């Protein structure tokens, strides 16, 4: 597990940008955090790191946004509006199997709504940090903790990516 303490949205995106540079096709990211914790901000940084041009927004209503014109595809999935029994009808496995879509990075917001276990993945937990001594509410909202936790069967798959982040962003840990 790797933990960072960040004080701006730009730092959140910078870490995601670097992560995107070292992730391989077939990578699955489980983005965990409450509403407003920075999940979509993180995905925007991933997109920039993959060379995706154009705006990346939350697919809360479209459920899945496919960004195909980068170094590798980015599939941004948001399950917030769904019940666990509804998720299965999306056939999300086709995104990480590479059968119907080119292999890319799959970033899933609200993955805990899946009623089946994800294949090997990297869980990214985003939590806002509130500083009781700060008089700038906007800066409080931008401060967050990010934890990178590979699933039990994915430590080896994400070891290099986590080491890359640890060496490039040690000043945030």
Instruction: Please state, rounded to an integer, the average pLDDT across all residues of the chain.
Output: 86
CATH number at residue 167: 3.40.50.300
Q: pLDDT digits over 38-77, tens only?
A: 899 999 999 999 999 988 988 877 888 899 999 999 999 9
Q: pLDDT digits over 149-165, tens only?
A: 998 888 888 998 999 99
Domain count, the chain: 1
pTM as predicted = 0.88
Domain region containing 166: 2-172
Residue appearing with tokens 């939590």: 127
């Amino acid at each position: 597990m790797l933990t960072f303490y960040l004080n701006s949205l730009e730092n959140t995106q910078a870490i995601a940008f670097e992560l995107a540079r070292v992730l391989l096709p077939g990578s699955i990211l489980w983005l965990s955090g409450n509403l407003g914790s920075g999940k979509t901000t993180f995905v925007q940084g991933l997109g920039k790191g993959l060379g995706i041009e154009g705006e990346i927004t939350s697919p809360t209503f479209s459920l899945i946004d496919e960004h195909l014109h980068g170094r590798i595809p980015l599939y941004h999935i948001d399950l917030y509006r769904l019940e666990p029994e509804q998720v299965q009808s999306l056939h999300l496995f086709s995104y990480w199997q590479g059968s119907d879509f080119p292999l890319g990075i799959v970033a899933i917001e609200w993955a805990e709504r899946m009623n089946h276990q994800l294949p090997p993945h990297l869980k990214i937990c985003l939590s806002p940090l509130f500083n009781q001594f700060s008089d700038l509410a906007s800066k409080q909202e931008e401060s967050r903790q990010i934890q990178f936790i590979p699933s039990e069967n994915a430590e080896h798959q994400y070891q290099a990516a986590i080491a890359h982040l640890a060496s490039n962003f040690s000043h945030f840990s």
